[in-house]
Every structure is written in C-alpha cells, then in structure tokens.
Amino acid sequence: MPSEEFYVRYYSGHQGRYGHEFIEFELHADGRCRYANNSNYRNDSLIKKEMTVSPLMIKELKRIILDSEVMKEDDHKWPRKSVVGKQELEIRLGNEHISFETAKIGSLVDVQASDDPEGLRVFYYLVEDLRCLVFSLITLHWKVKP
Amino acid sequence: MTDKYEIDLSVRPGDDLQDEEMAETPEVTVKRKGRGFRSGDQRGEDTQGSVFTRLSTTEDTTSGKAMKSVEGWIVLITGVHEEATEDDVNDKFGDFGEIKSIHLNLDRRTGYVKARYPGYALVEYETLSEAQEAINQMNGAKLLDQTLACDFAFIKSNSSSADDRGRRGFTPRNKGNNTGRRTGHSNSPSRH
C-alpha cells in the first residue's frame, strides 16, 4: 500500500536512583508498533513488545495527530529537560518532521506556568492521547499492564 | 548542559534550524522543527540488549490478515460519537458475541476550545467469527448518527518490513537526514 512517510515516536525518561527508567514507543505507517518500558524499581525489568496494527488503526492515529495540530507548534519556549527527566515526541508526517523535546510535565499547572501555555497544552493532550492509545493496545493484545 | 551534535557537523551552536531550512535551502522538501534534532543524548535504545517480543502467529487459514491477541480478537471502531458510552457500544456490538473487554477512548478534554472530535473504541471478542461478523455488519453503520469504521486492530506481521532495521532498537532519531538537511547542505557553499 503506497502511503506518505509517517511515523510517531515518543520517549519519556530520566536517570535516577534506579538507573535509566523510561518508556518509549513508536508506530510506523506499515503498522509496526514497538513499546519498551524499563523500570528498575522493585526489580522490575525491561519490557519490550512489538505488534502490528491494521491500516485503520494507523489512519486513526493520523487523525489524532492532525486534529491536535501539533505540527504547527514549536518547542523553543517549552521547559527544557531537567534532572527530573525529559520527553521527546518525534513525528514524521509527509514533508513535515518534528522532534520536540521538553521536561516532564506533571500536570496542567506546569503547562499554565510555562512561556507557551497554548502550545504546550497541545503537546500535553496529544501525549495523553498517544499514551492512552498505546496502553490500550498493549493491555488488550498482551493482557498485561503496560 | 552537554548538547552534542550527533551526525550533522554543519550545525553550529546557535544556528536556528527552522529559519535556516526555510531561508537557505528551498530545495529541501522536508521541513524539520524542534530541539530533539540537536539532542545527542541517551534514549531508551542504549540499554536495550534484548529483542522485542511478539505474539506468535497461529497457522490457520481462516483468519486472513487478522492477528489473534492473547485472549481473543480485537476489533477497532472509529468515528465513535464523543458522547457515546460503553453501554451504547455494548448495545450495538454485543449482538455479535459477548464483549470480553472494551476500551472507549474518547476525547474528553475539558476546557478545550475547539469542537471535540469523535473517538475510537477497541472491543474484544473471544472468537474470530464473532469479531469478523461485527466488522462485516458494523463497518459503515451508524452509532448516534455518526458513521463508524470497523476492522481488526491487529494484523499479522509482514516480517520482511518489520525486520529491516533489526529487532532490538527503535528507529534512530535522525532518520530522515538523508532526505532532509544533509543533502541540502552538502552542496551549499554558503556554509563554509
């Protein structure tokens, strides 16, 4: 199936007392979906899962991204990554390619307090939506808590 | 702050990637934006020695492209009205078999200025025939006056494309350089 260049990748992590703890996932136009979660707390170990989603799922993912209008935003005024950690959102969609990097955001209070609350809110909600989607896929496909 | 520049040596500290893209290299067709492109530090893949695990595919001839999940078959429903409830979905989709679990992911952000969008649902059936029947009957049907699209959520892997970059890591961050700025800059005399 010919389609425009498309993938999404999200990373959130930090270096801390329990080593490098992170979650990361990516979805590609061909349906490949990869997920990794590393938490050393209480001896939890690295989880790495891969699955393939259908074209309808990819279409829905694109809709979510297009509706969010995140491609119009810019991360230059967003909080910089810190010792608390960072988030990265990379999206390639047709001829546009973003790779946004910012600190971890605890809540909408952090969003409001930033220098670009409108843009950061778009990012915050989209990340919520993407995490929700991937967690649903993992939960249903593998019957594990992501 | 120890920002490193991973691959693209033509970028100097202080360069504004976005303006540069637009102003100096109109032949570059991919517009890139964001601090992540300059970040050279660690992501998850550095600690990932193991491979990504996959569910194994059963050798059956009836499921076609559809892929079975651990406990059943997952159907994706898109175009779900923002005010739909789990009961609404259950009423419609329960006709084809018992729904073992349901995830209704609607856009419910409060205080959001724009009109809200329809969402999607994922429902699990125990058998392939139930899931297939739900898809056959409900793809294109309406729920609360909105047209649905239905299909299996998971399909079997096309392993040739799934393995193209190996099974251990994620896609490198700067994939896309080849079609993007590096090509654009290599023949750009203004850089040096």
pLDDT confidence tier of residue B182, bands split at 50, 70 and 90? very low
Query: Greater confidence, A9 or A18?
Result: A9
Cβ distance A20 to B46 less than 8 Å, yes or no, reads yes
| A138 has a pLDDT exceeding 50 | yes
Express each pLDDT in B30-85 by its tens digit: 899 999 988 765 566 544 567 888 888 776 677 889 999 999 999 999 999 988 99
Of the segments A83-87, B98-102, B169-173, which one has the largest average pLDDT value?
A: B98-102
In the three-class reduction of DSSP (H, G, I as helix; E, B as strand; rest coil), residue A104 is classed as coil
Which region among A39-48, A112-121, B72-81, B119-128 has the lowest average model confidence (pLDDT)?
Answer: A39-48
> Is the pLDDT higher at A87 or at B172?
A87
Range list of β-strands (E), B10-98: 31-33, 73-80
Helix, strand, coil fractions of chain A, as percent rounded to 5: 35, 35, 30
Under an 8 A CB cutoff, do B47 and A143 touch? no
| pLDDT at position B18 | 47
- Of A13-17, A115-119, A129-133, B77-81, which gets the smallest average pLDDT? A13-17
**Between B65, B76, B154, which is nearest A51 by CB?**
B154
> Chain A within 8 Å of B124 (Cβ-Cβ)?
yes
Q: Taking 60 as the threshold, does the pLDDT of residue B184 lie above it?
A: no
A99 touches chain B (CB under 8 A): yes
Give the separation between CA B189 and CA B192, rounded to whole angstroms: 6
Asked if A140 reaches chain B (Cβ–Cβ under 8 Å), the answer is yes
Q: How far apart are CA A8 and CA B135, in angstroms?
A: 27
Q: Does A4 touch chain B (CB under 8 A)?
A: no
pTM, to two decimals: 0.81
Question: CB contact, 8 Å: A16 with chain B?
Answer: no
DSSP assignment, residue B53?
B
Residue B34 with chain A: CB contacts under 8 Å: 74-75, 90, 98-101
Instruction: Determine whether the interchain pair B43/A98 forms a contact, defined as Cβ–Cβ distance below 8 Å.
Output: no
Which of A36-40, A66-70, B82-86, B117-121 has the least mean pLDDT? A36-40
CB proximity A125 to B under 8 Å: yes
Most confident segment among A15-19, B22-26, B30-34, B91-95: B91-95
Residue of A2, A12, A43 lying closest to A134 (CA atoms): A12
Which residues from chain B sit within 8 angstroms of residue A9, using beta carbons?
170-171
pLDDT, tens digit, for every residue of A46-104?
888 999 999 999 999 999 999 899 999 999 999 999 989 999 999 999 999 999 999 99
What distance in Å separates residue A105's CA from the closest CA in chain B? 17
Between B5 and B129, whose confidence is greater? B129
CB pairs under 8 A between A and B: 179
Around B165, how many Cα atoms within 13 Å sit in the side-chain half-sphere?
A: 11
